[in-house]
Amino acid sequence: MPDHSSNSNEVDIEFRNATKRFENVVAVDDVSLSVERGAFFSFLGPSGCGKTTSLRLIAGFDQPSEGDVFISGASVVGIPPHKRPVNMVFQQYALFPHMDVAENIGYGLRQRSPKPDRQDITRRVDETLEMVRLSGYGKRRVWELSGGQQQRVALARALINHPTCLLLDEPLAALDRKLRREMQIELQTLQRDVGITFILVTHDQEEALSMSDRICIMREGRIVQSGSPRELYDEPLNRYVADFVGKTNFFDGEIIEARDSAITLKSESGQVLVGVQPKKAAPLVNGSRACVAVRPEMISINAADKNVGDDSIALHGEVMNRIFLGEHSEYLVATVEYGEVMVLSPKSVENSNRSFAPGDRVSLSWRPESVLVLGDT
Amino acid sequence: MRIYAIAVFLFLYVPIGIIVLFSFNAGRHASELRGLSIQWYGKALSNPFVGDAFTTSLIVALSVAVLSSLMGTAAALALQRLKGSLRVLFDGLIYISVMIPGIVIGIATLVALVTVFDFLNPILASLWPEGVKPPKLHMGYASVIAAHTLFTMSLVIILVRARIAGMDRALIEASMDLYATPWRTFYQVTLPQIYPAILAGFLLSFTFSFDDFIISFFVAGANTTLPIYIFSSIRRGITPEVNAIGTMVLAVSLILLMTAQFLLRSRVNR
Ligand SMILES: Nc1ncnc2c1ncn2[C@@H]1O[C@H](COP(=O)(O)OP(=O)(O)OP(=O)(O)O)[C@@H](O)[C@H]1O
Ligand SMILES: [Mg+2]
């Protein structure tokens, strides 16, 4: 008996230099990655960056033009979808319209040989319906269900087969905001309960950040960076990632001094900016262009006349807009030096200090050791 | 404009109305109406020639419908996978074969078959052992069925293609993803999605073949289909009996056509 139990480092899905070419586009370009068994993994990227194609390489709807794809350690290149131990939840659900809910969910079991007997199928369909909180809906027609219910049927139809890995292609894109939030939580709980590897495709960074253990950020078919949500947020390797994950202010400049990871930039207006380079990023050289990335919550906002500490970098400007977000206030400040800058100010500071209204003159400051200097690629 | 439209409709439907009306004529002449009766329907149905012609037509039409829906569906599915210029070529050929007038199909099939038969018959005769009568190829059921199928198959292809195009491709992928083999995917997912189009194609093919006179006239050989029978009996004068036959054919055709229309209207995903 092979031991399937608790080796958490076991690799479930692996790409080795996988490339997928269509007539004149390279949809997936030399991608290598591995996904651990039981992980919640996300592909994140803008439209057309090759997320769906990556998923289809795992499901078997497309075959790599070059390279290799492995499931549980075995190469699956050339193996048709119906012989692969993974299941997919489609973006528009793709429920069979000529079957009722129970028939849809039992579909995968009925294809097995030997076919499980009728009572067995019925029992497992009922269990799965209960798992997705749709008990009693078995006899409904699928088109009578709401979007959220259809989505749960699609999930049940895949999960009933106990796949080693579940593939989800933007499963929540068709749902409204509130329902999407609920389903995100449900999916996460479900994934922990069943212990199956989930691979999610999304272009919604918030969704990826809140749900996944690991995220792989793609651009034009290539992986830009992969890591835990924390890593991606705290240590983006370049401007693209920082821009994609969370909100960021970028201040461009030319590098005038690069000592180890401490970098000094000079902006076009002549201001000197400093910051540190992420540990894993490719080293930056003197004279090249780069930017300082400052998250809105790292900036403190003060009245223009107030003195800030010596080692802080200060910009001056005028408040253009303030949005009250409950726990935070979001300011848009037009600075003399860099144009619009976004600032997130927590409620505690708002209360003890003072809050600002449009038209107020303010100064913005941050501590240089807490900001990153990033290259463009 | 309105008067013009009314005139056109009158021109189209009044003759048909008259035929239906006169088929219920109690008198023996087609030209004067003497009370209503269904006696001519009885006469027509008990006429052995009508019976034979009807059977022939039924055999031909059923064969045509079965053959063209099978081959047409298979062709439509295969064409769906075709890409580029080859697909454009086949699409063009299919539409052309629907637009070609029946008389051209009739003559062309006749000429083609006669040429092939003339070529093959001596060869067959020489191949057969001495003293045994060799088979002789000639016009008959097979030639009418072939000529009709040529035309109706294109109809089925067009109908089924339209249905496949309206179908969600993800359904097929979902089925494959859920461990169904290609064959099981076909009869569990594809077929239930496209069968209304196939059935409609079947009914249209049947109606076309059952009503067709022109093509049959050229290639039916010694067989008499119902339209051919009607044509030949009209030459002996129009009788209420012919009207009765015409009315029955009309009724059957209309029912089949309306059923086909209904099937085609049913929504793709329901
Ligand atoms: N079957 C195909 N034939 C040709 N090109 C394709 C095919 N499938 C995908 N592509 C191309 O490959 C690229 C990646 O497509 P893919 O569907 O993987 O993007 P995606 O990241 O899923 O985008 P989206 O967020 O819009 O779904 C695109 O440029 C797309 O046009
Ligand atoms: Mg996609």
Q: Are A28 and A19 in contact (CB under 8 A)?
A: yes
pLDDT given for residue A120 in this prediction: 93
Percent of chain A with pLDDT over 70: 94
More confident residue, A7 or A54: A54
Identify all chain B residues contacting A96, using CB atoms and an 8 Å cutoff.
171, 174-175, 189
Nearest CA to ligand 1 atom 27: A47
Token pair in block for residue B115: 């040429």
Highest mean pLDDT among A317-326, A332-341, B182-191 belongs to B182-191
Token pair in block for residue A15: 């790409």
Q: Are A375 and A288 in contact (CB under 8 A)?
A: yes
Identify all chain B residues contacting A199, using CB atoms and an 8 Å cutoff.
none
More confident residue, A375 or A127: A127
**Mean pLDDT calculated for residue range A120-136:** 92
Q: Is the CB of A55 under 6 A from ligand 1?
A: no
Q: Are residues B174 and A88, on separate chains, in Cβ contact within 8 Å? A: yes
A197 touches chain B (CB under 8 A): no
- Give me the CATH number covering residue B141: 1.10.3720.10
Q: Say how far residue B260 (Cα) sits from the centre of its chain.
A: 13
Token pair in block for residue A52: 């769906």
B170 touches chain A (CB under 8 A): yes
A238-250 pLDDT, tens digit per residue, is: 899 998 888 899 9
pTM confidence score: 0.80
CA distances from B261 to A362, B196, B202, B203, B204 (A): 73, 10, 12, 10, 9
Q: Are residues A90 and B173, on separate chains, in Cβ contact within 8 Å? A: yes
Domain A296-368 of CATH type 1.10.3720.10: no
Identify all chain A residues contacting B175, using CB atoms and an 8 Å cutoff.
96, 107
Q: Which of A178, A200, A175 is nearest to A188 (CA)?
A: A200
For B12, half-sphere exposure in the C-beta direction (CA atoms, 13 angstrom radius) is: 6
A92-122 pLDDT, tens digit per residue, is: 899 999 999 999 999 999 999 888 999 999 9
Name the residue range of residue B76's domain.
Answer: 48-265
Q: Is the CB of A283 under 6 A from ligand 1?
A: no
**Mean pLDDT calculated for residue range A21-29:** 92
A111 touches chain B (CB under 8 A): yes
Domain A11-234 of CATH type 3.40.50.300: yes
Identify all chain A residues contacting B184, using CB atoms and an 8 Å cutoff.
111
B174 touches chain A (CB under 8 A): yes
pLDDT given for residue B74 in this prediction: 94
Q: Is the CB of A24 under 6 A from ligand 1?
A: no
pLDDT given for residue B134 in this prediction: 73
Token pair in block for residue B145: 């069925």
CA diameter of chain A:
80
Q: How crowded is residue B44: how many other Cβ atoms within 10 Å of its Cβ?
A: 23
Q: Give the environment of ion ligand 2: residues with CB less than 5 A.
A: A 52
Query: Mean pLDDT lowest for which of A8-12, A131-135, A210-214, A371-375?
Result: A8-12
B168 touches chain A (CB under 8 A): yes
pLDDT given for residue A312 in this prediction: 67
Q: Are residues B270 and A97, on separate chains, in Cβ contact within 8 Å? A: yes
Indicate the number of domains in chain B: 1
Q: Are residues B270 and A143, on separate chains, in Cβ contact within 8 Å? A: yes
In a domain, B30, yes or no: no
Q: Are A300 and A289 in contact (CB under 8 A)?
A: no
Q: Say how far residue B231 (Cα) sits from the centre of its chain.
A: 18
Average pLDDT, chain A: 88
Q: Are B30 and B230 in contact (CB under 8 A)?
A: no
pLDDT given for residue B229 in this prediction: 87
pLDDT given for residue A352 in this prediction: 63
Q: Say how far residue A126 (Cα) sits from the centre of its chain.
A: 33
Chain A's closest residue to B269, CA to CA, is: A97
In a domain, B2, yes or no: no
* Confidence bin at A310 (pLDDT 50/70/90): low
- ipTM comes to 0.81
pLDDT given for residue B267 in this prediction: 56
Q: Is the CB of A46 under 6 A from ligand 1?
A: no
Phi, psi angle pair for A336, to nearest 5°: -65, -45
Q: Is the CB of A50 under 6 A from ligand 1?
A: yes
Strand-by-strand arrangement of the A313-324 sheet: A300-303, A361-366, A313-324, A328-335, A339-346
pLDDT given for residue B30 in this prediction: 60
Strand, coil or helix: what is B243?
Answer: helix
Token pair in block for residue B159: 């109908």
Q: Is the pLDDT of residue A26 over 90?
A: yes
Task: Please tell me what DSSP assigns to residue B21.
Answer: H
Q: What is the pLDDT along chain B (270 residues), one digit of tens a residue?
A: 788 888 888 888 888 888 788 778 777 666 666 777 777 888 888 888 888 888 899 999 999 999 999 999 999 999 888 888 888 898 888 888 888 888 888 898 889 888 988 888 888 888 877 777 777 777 788 889 988 998 899 999 999 999 998 888 899 999 999 999 999 999 999 999 998 899 999 999 999 999 888 888 888 877 888 888 888 888 877 777 888 888 888 888 888 888 888 887 765 444
In a domain, B147, yes or no: yes
How far is the C-alpha of A340 from the C-alpha of A250, rounded, in Å? 10
Strand-by-strand arrangement of the A165-169 sheet: A86-89, A165-169, A197-202, A40-44, A214-219, A222-227
Identify all chain B residues contacting A107, using CB atoms and an 8 Å cutoff.
175, 178, 180, 188
Q: Are B27 and B16 in contact (CB under 8 A)?
A: no
More confident residue, A313 or A37: A37
Token pair in block for residue A314: 């200060």
Strand, coil or helix: what is B36?
Answer: strand
Q: Are residues B171 and A108, on separate chains, in Cβ contact within 8 Å? A: no
Q: Is the pLDDT of residue A6 over 50?
A: no
Nearest CA to ligand 1 atom 20: A48
SS (H, E, C) chain A: CCCCCCCCCCEEEEEEEEEEEECCEEEEEEEEEEEECCCEEEEECCCCCCHHHHHHHHHCCCCCCEEEEEECCEECCCCCHHHCCEEEECCCCCCCCCCEHHHHHHHHHHCCCCCCCHHHHHHHHHHHHHHCCCCCCCCCEHHHCCHHHHHHHHHHHHHCCCCCEEEEECCCCCCCHHHHHHHHHHHHHHHHHHCCEEEEEECCHHHHHHHCCEEEEEECCEEEEEECHHHHHHCCCEHHHHHHCCCCEEEEEEEEEEECCEEEEECCCCCEEEEECCCCCCCCCCCCEEEEEECHHHCEEEECCCCCCCCCEEEEEEEEEEEECCCEEEEEEEECCCEEEEEEEEHHHHHHCCCCCCCCEEEEEECHHHCEEEECC
Q: What is the number of the ligand closest to the CA of A217?
A: 1
pLDDT given for residue B269 in this prediction: 44
How far is the C-alpha of A179 from the C-alpha of A349, rounded, in Å? 33
**Mean pLDDT calculated for residue range A310-334:** 84
How big is the CA angle at B157 (ends B152 and B158), to the nearest 5 degrees?
100
Q: Are residues B171 and A96, on separate chains, in Cβ contact within 8 Å? A: yes
Q: Is the pLDDT of residue A266 over 50?
A: yes
Highest mean pLDDT among A76-80, A309-313, B108-112, B249-253 belongs to A76-80
B195 touches chain A (CB under 8 A): no
More confident residue, A274 or A75: A75
Ligand 2 center to A50 CA (angstroms): 7
Q: Are A340 and A328 in contact (CB under 8 A)?
A: no
| Bridge partners of residue A374, in order along the sequence | A291
pLDDT given for residue B29 in this prediction: 66
A61 touches chain B (CB under 8 A): yes
Interface test with B, best of A98, A103, A157 (most B CBs within 10 A): A98
Alpha helical stretches, state H, chain B: 2-23, 39-46, 48-81, 84-99, 102-127, 141-165, 169-177, 182-185, 191-211, 214-219, 226-234, 240-265
**DSSP letters for B46-64:** H-HHHHHHHHHHHHHHHHH
Q: Tell me how close the Cα of B181 comes to any Cα of chain A, in angstroms.
A: 6
